[in-house]
C-alpha cells in the first residue's frame, strides 16, 4: 500500500517521461484557464469586495451568446463584437440594478446577490438559447484545430494546436490586462479603489464607472474562457463547473492578489492533473479532480490563512 503511494507513481513518471510531459501539458492548459477565471474574480473582489459567484455563469452566457448569434446567421467575428456588446450591457445592468442599491451591505449579502444573478442568467440563457450542448464555432473564428506530434526520448507527445492557441491568447490577455492596470488612467483607478475605497473616492474616482469597467473586463475574460473551454468540451451549462475550480485557486493565491491568481491557477492545474493520473486513477477510482484542488488549498490555508500571496490579515478589536 505504502509502496503504491510513495514509490510506484514516481517510477511510472521516470519510466514514461513522454507521458509525464503530456500530463503536465494538459495540466498547464487547464491551469491557464483556471488562472484566467480567477483573475476575473480577483479584479472584482479587489475593487468592490464582492465575491462574484456569477463569474462561472458569465463564461457560459458569453459562449452561448456567441454561438447563438452565429446560429442566427451573423458572421463569426461580428458575433464576437456583438457578444462583447452584450457583456457590456450586462455589466451596466448589474451595476445599476443590483450593485448600486446594495452598496455598503455586508459581504455575504452581496455574495448572495451574485448567486441571484447566477440563477437569473441560467434561467435566461436556457429560455433564449436552449440547454442542449452546442458546438463552439472554432473554425469560423480561425482557431487552428490540428495537432503537432513530438517524439521526445522516442516517446509520443501530442500538442493540440487549439491548446497552444489557448495558452498564447491567455498569456497575451493577461499581459494586456497587466499593462492596462499599470499604465492607463482607468487601470490605475481600479487599483486605487482596490487599495483604499475612501481615499480613491476622495480624489474623484467614480465608483460606478470602475465597477462597470471591472465587470466588463470580467465579461471579456469570460468570453475568452468560454471560447477556449467551449472548443474543447462543447458549450453547455456544464461549463459552469469550471468556475468552481477558480475558487481553490483564489484560496491558494489569495483573494486580492493578481500574481497569486496566475501562479495559483497554474499550480492547481498541474497538480490536480498529476494527482489524478498517478494517484487518483490507480488508487482511488478516478474523478478526483472534483475535490483535489479544494483539499490542496485547504491544507495550504491551514498554514497560511490568507493564501500564498494574499494581504496579511491584521485584526484589531
Residues forming contacts to other proteins in the complex (CB under 8 A) are: 51, 97-98, 101-102, 105-109, 111-113, 115-124, 126-127, 244, 247-248, 250-251, 255, 284-285, 287-288, 290-291, 294-295, 297-298, 301-302, 305-307, 313, 315-317
| CA 212/CA 205 separation, integer angstroms | 13
| CA 12/CA 20 separation, integer angstroms | 9
The nearer residue to other proteins, 78 or 298, going by C-beta atoms, is 298
- Give the number of residues written for the chain: 317
Angle CA(263)–CA(222)–CA(67) in degrees, nearest 5?
Answer: 140
The nearer residue to other proteins, 25 or 45, going by C-beta atoms, is 45
**Least distance to other proteins, CB of residue 27, Å:** 19
Evaluate whether 211 touches 101 at the Cβ level (below 8 Å). Answer: no
Evaluate whether 244 touches 55 at the Cβ level (below 8 Å). Answer: no
The nearer residue to other proteins, 57 or 189, going by C-beta atoms, is 57
The nearer residue to other proteins, 19 or 244, going by C-beta atoms, is 244
The nearer residue to other proteins, 62 or 113, going by C-beta atoms, is 113
The nearer residue to other proteins, 115 or 169, going by C-beta atoms, is 115
Alpha carbon 50 to its chain's center? 16
The nearer residue to other proteins, 182 or 287, going by C-beta atoms, is 287
Q: How far is CA 150 from CA 57, 84, 86, 158, 211, in A?
A: 37, 37, 41, 6, 46
**Least distance to other proteins, CB of residue 47, Å:** 16
Nearest to 167 by CA among 64, 286, 262: 262
Q: How far is CA 232 from CA 1, 42, 47, 139, 150, in A?
A: 36, 25, 32, 13, 21
Give the helix ranges, DSSP H, for the chain.
Answer: 2-6, 8-15, 17-48, 55-71, 76-93, 107-129, 161-183, 185-195, 197-202, 207-233, 241-253, 258-275, 289-303
**Least distance to other proteins, CB of residue 279, Å:** 14
**Least distance to other proteins, CB of residue 169, Å:** 28
The nearer residue to other proteins, 73 or 101, going by C-beta atoms, is 101
**Least distance to other proteins, CB of residue 167, Å:** 26
**Least distance to other proteins, CB of residue 307, Å:** 7
Q: What angle do helix axes 185-195 and 17-48 make, rounded to 10 degrees?
A: 80
3-state secondary structure of 31: helix
**Least distance to other proteins, CB of residue 126, Å:** 4
Q: Rg of the Cα trace of the chain?
A: 21
**Least distance to other proteins, CB of residue 302, Å:** 6
The nearer residue to other proteins, 60 or 228, going by C-beta atoms, is 60
**Least distance to other proteins, CB of residue 186, Å:** 26
- Residue 134 pairs with which residues in a beta bridge? 235
Amino acid at each position: 500500500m505504502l509502496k503504491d503511494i510513495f514509490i510506484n507513481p514516481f517510477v511510472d513518471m521516470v519510466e514514461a517521461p513522454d507521458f509525464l510531459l503530456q500530463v503536465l501539458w494538459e495540466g498547464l492548459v487547464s491551469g491557464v484557464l483556471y488562472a484566467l477565471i480567477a483573475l476575473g474574480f480577483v479584479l472584482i473582489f479587489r475593487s468592490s469586495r464582492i465575491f462574484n459567484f456569477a463569474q462561472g455563469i458569465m463564461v457560459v452566457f458569453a459562449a452561448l451568446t456567441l454561438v447563438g448569434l452565429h446560429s442566427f446567421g451573423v458572421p463569426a467575428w461580428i458575433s464576437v463584437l456583438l457578444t462583447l456588446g452584450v457583456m457590456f450591457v450586462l455589466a451596466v445592468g448589474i451595476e445599476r440594478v443590483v450593485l448600486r442599491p446594495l452598496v455598503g451591505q455586508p459581504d455575504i449579502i452581496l455574495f448572495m446577490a451574485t448567486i441571484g444573478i447566477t440563477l437569473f442568467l441560467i434561467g435566461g440563457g436556457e429560455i433564449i438559447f436552449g440547454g442542449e450542448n452546442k458546438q463552439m464555432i472554432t473554425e469560423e473564428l480561425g482557431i487552428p484545430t490540428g495537432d503537432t506530434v513530438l517524439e521526445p526520448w522516442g516517446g509520443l507527445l501530442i500538442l493540440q494546436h487549439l491548446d497552444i492557441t489557448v495558452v498564447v491568447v491567455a498569456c497575451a490577455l493577461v499581459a494586456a490586462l497587466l499593462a492596462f492596470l499599470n499604465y492607463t488612467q482607468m487601470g490605475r483607478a481600479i487599483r486605487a479603489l482596490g487599495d483604499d475605497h475612501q481615499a480613491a473616492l476622495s480624489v474623484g474616482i467614480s465608483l460606478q464607472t470602475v465597477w462597470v469597467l471591472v465587470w466588463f473586463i470580467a465579461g471579456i475574460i469570460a468570453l475568452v474562457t468560454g471560447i477556449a473551454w467551449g472548443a474543447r468540451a462543447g458549450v453547455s451549462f456544464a461549463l459552469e463547473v469550471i468556475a468552481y475550480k477558480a475558487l481553490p485557486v483564489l484560496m491558494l493565491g489569495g483573494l486580492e492578489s493578481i500574481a497569486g491568481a496566475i501562479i495559483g491557477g497554474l499550480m492547481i492545474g498541474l497538480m490536480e492533473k498529476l494527482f489524478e493520473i498517478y494517484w487518483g486513477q490507480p488508487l482511488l477510482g478516478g474523478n478526483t479532480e472534483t475535490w483535489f484542488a479544494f483539499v490542496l488549498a485547504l491544507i495550504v490555508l491551514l498554514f497560511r490563512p490568507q493564501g500564498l500571496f494574499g494581504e496579511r490579515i491584521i485584526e484589531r478589536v
